[in-house]
Every structure is written in C-alpha cells, then in structure tokens.
Structure 1
C-alpha cells in the first residue's frame, strides 16, 4: 500500500478520494523543516500546502514520486531539485482562481467605500462619519492589473462587467494571450502605478519578481489611489508600503499576503488604519478548499497509477515512478 504524507490538514473529501483508491494517509507532525525531515523518508507522495521543500527535504524524500500542491503557488519548492530527483510536482491550477478574484473585487469595494471605517463608526453610533468621509463610485474608475494570468483575467472580467471599471493590464506575456477588447495593454510595469485608481498585483514570487514593488512605484501613484496585493508577500517591500501609507502618498492598501506569515506582533503594518489586512485566506472559501483537496489528490493518483498529471508544474526527464516500476 502506497502512503501519502499530508503535513497540514485538508478537506475530508481529498482524503476520502485517496483512501477509496487504496492509499494510506499519514498526517504529518508539523510543517517545520525538522518535522518534514522526520515524516518524509518512507512515503510515496506528499500533499502539501504552504510549507517549504528545499534540497535537504527533497533529498530525504527517498521514495516520493509526486508532490501535489493544495492550491497553486509552488514558489516554496525547489523545482529544479525535484525534477533532478525524478519527482513530479503538480498543483490545482484552477482550484482557487475565482475565489481570489472575488476577494479582489471585495477589497476594491471595501477600500473605495470605506467599509471598515464605516463599520467601526456605526458600531460607535458615530453617524457623523457619513458627512466626514465619503467613498467613491467605482464605475469609470481605472483598475490596473499587474499580471494577467488566471486570476488577473477573472478580476478583469468581474471589474468590467460587474462594476463598469476601465481595465488595464501589464504582463510581459500579454501579447501571447487572448485578450478581450475591454482590457487595455500597458507597455511598462510602472505605467500601472501611474494610471490606476486601484493597482492590484497578481503575479508569482520568484527570484526575478521579489521586491519589485518599492517606494519608487508608490511615488508614481495618485494620492487618491489604492494598492492591493493578493499574490505573494515577497513581491512587495513592506517598509516602503508603510512609508507610503504613513506619509499619505496613497489613500490606502489591502493585503492578503505578507512577507512573514503570521506577522510578528511588532510588525509596524499592524494597526495602520488605512491598511486592510486579511490572513492569507483569499483562496480559502469552503468551495475552493474542496477543489484544492480534490485536485491535489487527483494529481497524486494520476502519477502513482502511471498517468501524466493533469496539472503538472514540472516535467522530470526520468520520473522516479517509472524507475521504481522497472
């Protein structure tokens, strides 16, 4: 019987899918490196969430043939090492895209209509707030997207058809994509910051992409504009966002991700009134958690039964699953 390691729990439907196909499930003792090293040595597959898999952990995974991401991002996995070792890495490419896109629209509305401050004022019976601070209509306002992948496309569609916003997008690969007429191409990264009433980041963390949003970009923005990041905390220089908010360079921001999660108690971003923060849960709706668990379980079963996975992230030239079958 093949064994699947699950370091952090998932929706029951994913575990049921695996058990019904004859797999044993081992719930991990933790997501820290020491726990992973202790748990991974004799399993055949790993269904993982946000934990990190560096070369040390991967080389300890002597029998692992496939690692399936519960979700999409695999920036915490040494993909080159996994490929070298013959380990397939899969994800659930479409499992949470709509959930994150919906949260993005929610952020835009919350920021534009001062929902957090309005809620606080109403609970304090401060109805004078309605005359002190007015929100903005979203119809006709400009949304500038950084990244036009699966999530970016859905945000663009919802913003245009649902809110009547003007939509612009910057993506180095935009010319290779199908793009509706209502999405206007931006030629340069910084153009999004100059133009947008809302600038929303939807591109992955990588060595090339990390720390690409800095004080230089915030200085380009309108004072009435808002910045959103529902991608990865690593792409943003948080100290620069703090400076932009504290000095009124921009009207506000919304983050679902931070560079260090959970944040330390002394993180200066905590408590900033013009910053809407959520605990990296944009993708964690009940519906998306079911899809993420099922898609990851499906990827494991596909590889371990000799099939090509539906959502591969890498392509090992000599998959370990084939080597052990010989």
Structure 2
C-alpha cells in the first residue's frame, strides 16, 4: 500500500527522519531558498503534510498543495503562516509550545544577567589585553537581585522567567498582559499593570510578546522615554515589537542604561544596524531554544503532532483546525 506523502523542509537528525519515513513517503529538503523553491512547490502538490520551520509559507506557495491536510511547524511561533487562509482550506496547523519554555526562559534570564553585569563588554576588555589593574567604577554593572522586573506577555515563557526572577533573585514582578495570570499573582506575588505604569516602575523591562498587529512596534521612542534612565530593556519575544532605531537612539543618548536582544526586525541582524556600534547592548543570534536537548524535543513533538493530526486528533498543540 502506497504511503501518503509528507515534505520535510528543515534539516533534522537521521533518527527523527526515520520516525517520519516509517509512516509516510518522506521527501526531504534541508531548507528552502530561491535555488530549490520550484522543486519544493512541485513536491508539495500531492503532499498531505508539511513539517519544518524557518520558511514563510504564504498563500502563493500553499495554493499549489492541493491535497494538504496538516502543517506541523517545529516552533512555538506561527507568524510565518496566514491563519485565515489555512482555515479557509481546512488545513490544520500544529506547533510545539511546551517543550521550549524553560530553555527560552533560561536564555532570556541570561540576557538579563549579561546586560546588567556587562559580560560581553568585559569579556572583550579582558581578551583585548586592557585588563592591567583593578577595574575602575566606570566598568561596574548593576545588581539584579531585589529589583523590579516588568514582563510584557505573561504566558508560559513569561511565567517561567518570572519564577526564576522572583524565587531565585527576590525580584518584584510587574506584568502587562491581556488577561490576569492568577498563577503568577498567587505564586509569585506578581502585579498586573497597564503598559505605561509598568515601564515607569520597572528596573528591567522584558518583552516576551508575540507578533501581531497589536504588538507591531509597540515599544518605541515614547515608551523608552517613559522608562527609568537606569532601566535595562530585554527582548526575547519577537523582533517586530520594538522600534530598533528608537532603541539605538535611547541607548546612545542614555535614555535607558542598556539592552539585551535575542530577536530582531530583520534576521540576521544587518552589519549596518546602528545597534552594532553600541557598547551598552548584548546581542544574541536568536538562540532562545537553541540547545541540543530542546531542539530534539521540538522535532519529536512536531512529528507526534503531525501523526496525531493525520489520524484526525487535533486535541493538543493545534493552532488552526
């Protein structure tokens, strides 16, 4: 009996490929770019499923996939997809929300610590041979423990960051969210605030917001001016939430003290970006979930999601059905 066809559009370990090929007729692409886009479109014409990440699958591409029933993205985010179009086609979209929560929270808290203690700048100070005597106070960082952390977006990852901050560093938690997070308030004494109030009150402001029309460029010049001049801004959510030019100006003019970013409006971050020239910023190359253990767990979850959706089980990890 002929197996149904699934197209993989991301490089994954051979062991996970074997899991997929046991159930499906698997066609593999390590990535999709201009050199193989036509071949990818040809292969998806009779595919019932797609699995991968990092590619914007617009209507112009998916309209060729006439038999498509399910897309399983190896990510928690799904802003690469036109949800209304998928609904109109009855194409299920599955994602991997839970397996990367703690790893991403670790990354975000690393950004907080690196930005506060100026670790990148001081590492360069040592490796460039400038450390010849006791460190002068103009290289000092700031404490994290006992400070106020304002979290924009109190979902799974926001709660995990808040837990690390409150229980590990005795930080007071402020949060901005569409709804009340009773778990955060009961367990971590978190306080829900309006955006402007949180910005003015917090020592660290950490965005973990998703990408949508409501969050697009939510944090700009006005918002940076509302923050304390000693504040440190962190973005571990989505790049479109922050006006990066306004951030660069705020850092250069010392409107805020420092910043740490793992996500950007354009990725990779262009060398021409004004952020590249600043000392008071820590830049990570979008490594939120980038550990060996978590990436394998994400791939495994995406495969299980695909298999479940294939047999009609959309009870878990389904974004669109």
What TM-score do the two structures reach when normalised by structure 1? 0.90
Q: Distance in 2 between matches of 1:234 and 1:137?
A: 29
1:253 aligned to which of 242, 251, 259: 259
Deviations 1:115-169 (A, max 9, x none): 1122112222514462232222211111100000010000000111111111111
Any idea what SS the aligned residue of 1:203 has? coil
Alignment of 1:22-61 (within 5 A): 22-28=23-29, 30-32=31-33, 34-35=37-38, 36-61=40-65
Per-residue deviation, 1:176:
6.7
Q: Does 2:294 align with 1:293?
A: no
Hey, what does 1:221 align to over in structure 2? 227
Structure 1: gaps (5+ residues): 316-326
- Which range moved further: 189-198 or 2-11? 2-11
Give the aligned CA root-mean-square deviation in angstroms.
1.9
Hey, what does 1:113 align to over in structure 2? 117
* 8 Å Cα contact 2:11-2:31 kept in structure 1: no
Q: Distance in 1 between matches of 2:175 and 2:14?
A: 38
Alignment of 1:50-199 (within 5 A): 50-123=54-127, 124-128=129-133, 130-132=135-137, 133-174=139-180, 179-199=185-205
Deviations 1:170-192 (A, max 9, x none): 10112576632534323311222
* 8 Å Cα contact 1:145-1:168 kept in structure 2: yes
Change (3 A) 1:98 1:11: farther
Structure 2: gaps (5+ residues): none
Any idea what SS the aligned residue of 2:309 has? helix
* 8 Å Cα contact 1:156-1:183 kept in structure 2: no
Change (3 A) 1:61 1:158: same
Give the paired residue count: 314
* 8 Å Cα contact 1:13-1:290 kept in structure 2: no
